[in-house]
Structure formats: C-alpha cells, structure tokens
Structure 1
C-alpha cells in the first residue's frame, strides 16, 4: 500500500522495525520536503516487498558498479521520474537510505547516494570505501552522506 510521506507531521509509518526509526523517518521526510520544494512532487513509498523489481535494480547497480551487497533488510522503496531523471530510493532497517539518480538523457548525471540516519554506525559494507560528509537537517538531525558516479548503463 503506497504511503505519501508527510514532512510536516513526521511519522515512523513503515519504519517501526528500525532501531533508529525516528531518525530514519526524519531522513525520509527530509527527502520528501526536497522533492516537494524543488519539483512539486509528492514523495510516496511502498513496502519493499511490493517493489521487488525496483529493489533488484538498485542491488544490481550496487553489485555491478562497486561489488556492494547491503546486509540490512530493505523496508521501503520509492521510484519516480521528475525533470527527466529516474529516481529510486530504498530505506533500510539499519537507518541507511540509498538513492539512485539516473538522468535519461545521454549527457546527464548518474549516481548512487548514501545517507546515514543519526544514531547509526556506518555499515561494514561501506565503512572503508567511502568518506561521509555531515549535514544538519531540522527534520533528520545530523545526516551523513556520500555518493559515487555510475559508469555503466542501466
């Protein structure tokens, strides 16, 4: 069942099993606010079990590009297109959020972004491979983020 993320009244709906559910909900709301303000897009998520193809696509990009397999179970997925960019978000039980942005034109940006919820450790599969920058958010507290550029075609 789809859930439209409310960034005014932040809710842990769908994220309750996360040990950092409040922080992850704030991170998800932070993303929802960004897309509403920049693109006037309502950020909607579905349980990961209902978006197996989208989750498999993210897993394929991670495996093919950097040989990364995320150990934490996926809780929610969102996939949408705005401004000729295909976006896929996955929110994990550990508090990790991964987004794949893939510009549909030939000369566009294609990247994978990682965001860590406040209170979570850097996952072992990412720890020695990426440096994380810190960012403050009213909704999410402190967010740590990193990214890499996608080189292949997906």
Structure 2
C-alpha cells in the first residue's frame, strides 16, 4: 500500500529492517521535502513487492550502463513525473538510496544518483565512485554521487506501477 512520506514527522515506517533505519528515514524525508518545495509534489512510496516494475527499471539501467548489481534488498520504491522528468527512487535495506532522473524529451539530462545514509559503508559495488558530503537537518550527513545515463530506456516501463 502506498505511503505518503511526511518530512515534518520523520518515520521509519517500511524501513524498520535497515540497520540504519533512522538515517534512511531521514534521507527519505529529505527527498520528500525537496520535491514538495521544488515541484509541489507529494512524495509517495510503495513497498518493494508492489513496485517491482520501477525496481526492475532502475536495476536494468544500472546493469546496462555500469554493470552494477546492488547486493542489498530493496525496501521501497516510487516513480513519478514532474516537468517532463521521469523520476524513480529505490530505498535499500543497507541505507542506500538510488534515484534515476530521466528527462523524457532531452537525452542530455539523464542521470543516476546514489545517496548513502549516515552510518552506512560504501557498498562494494559502488566503491569506484567518489562521494561528496552534504548536511541535512533531516538526514544528518548524506554522501552522494552520480553518473550520466548514455543509452535510451523506456521511462513508461517504470510508470507501470
């Protein structure tokens, strides 16, 4: 069942099995606040078993673009479109958050972003990336990195959830 992420009262709902559940909940709330403030979008997530198409789409892009397979179990995911950008998020049990920002009409503005919750180690499959630090009132210190998507992927596949 879909769940609206509240960035005023941070909850670990759906993330309880993560060893860094509080930090991951703060990271998720930080993303919810960003999309509400920038796009007036209400950030809603679904349990992984209900969001298989978006998780598979993100996994496919990671595998095709960089031969990356995430070892951690996905807990939640979401996908939505704002201002011509298909956006997908997957939140993993390890504390990792992966987002895909895929402009529908502009192949030059497509990227995959990685964010690490405070308290988690860099996953082995991402150890070739450099991570920048960012402070967040909701999430503490977030470490982030990204890469540009070079190929085409049907964003409607992710929209099937």
Please give the alpha-carbon distance, in whole angstroms, between the structure 1 residues aligned to 2:73 and 2:2: 19
Please give the alpha-carbon distance, in whole angstroms, between the structure 1 residues aligned to 2:40 and 2:58: 24
Q: Which residue of 2 aligns with 1:134?
A: 133
Matched residue SS, 1:146: strand
Matched residue SS, 2:101: strand
For residues 38-78 of structure 1, what are the alpha-carbon distances to aligned partners after superposition, in whole Å with 9 as ceiling and x for unaligned? 00000000001101111100000000000000000000001
Please identify, of 72-81 and 103-112, the stretch whose mean Cα deviation from structure 2 is larger: 103-112
Please give the alpha-carbon distance, in whole angstroms, between the structure 2 residues aligned to 1:54 and 1:21: 22
Q: Which residue of 2 aligns with 1:26?
A: 26
Q: Which residue of 1 aligns with 2:54?
A: 54
Please give the alpha-carbon distance, in whole angstroms, between the structure 2 residues aligned to 1:63 and 1:107: 19
Q: Which residue of 1 aligns with 2:111?
A: 111
RMSD of aligned Cα (Å): 0.7
After TM superposition, the score normalised by the length of structure 1 is: 0.98
After TM superposition, the score normalised by the length of structure 2 is: 0.94
Please give the alpha-carbon distance, in whole angstroms, between the structure 2 residues aligned to 1:31 and 1:106: 23
Please give the alpha-carbon distance, in whole angstroms, between the structure 1 residues aligned to 2:15 and 2:83: 28
Please give the alpha-carbon distance, in whole angstroms, between the structure 2 residues aligned to 1:6 and 1:109: 29
Q: Which residue of 2 aligns with 1:95?
A: 95
Matches within 5 A, 1:7-46: 7-46=7-46
Please give the alpha-carbon distance, in whole angstroms, between the structure 1 residues aligned to 2:145 and 2:99: 11
Q: Which residue of 2 aligns with 1:149?
A: 148
State the number of aligned residues.
Answer: 153
Please give the alpha-carbon distance, in whole angstroms, between the structure 2 residues aligned to 1:72 and 1:27: 17
Please give the alpha-carbon distance, in whole angstroms, between the structure 2 residues aligned to 1:108 and 1:4: 31
Matched residue SS, 1:24: helix
Matched residue SS, 2:69: coil
Matched residue SS, 1:30: helix
Please give the alpha-carbon distance, in whole angstroms, between the structure 2 residues aligned to 1:106 and 1:11: 36
Q: Structure 1 unaligned runs (5+)?
A: none
In the TM superposition, structure 1's runs of 4+ consecutive aligned residues that sit over 4 Å from their partners are none
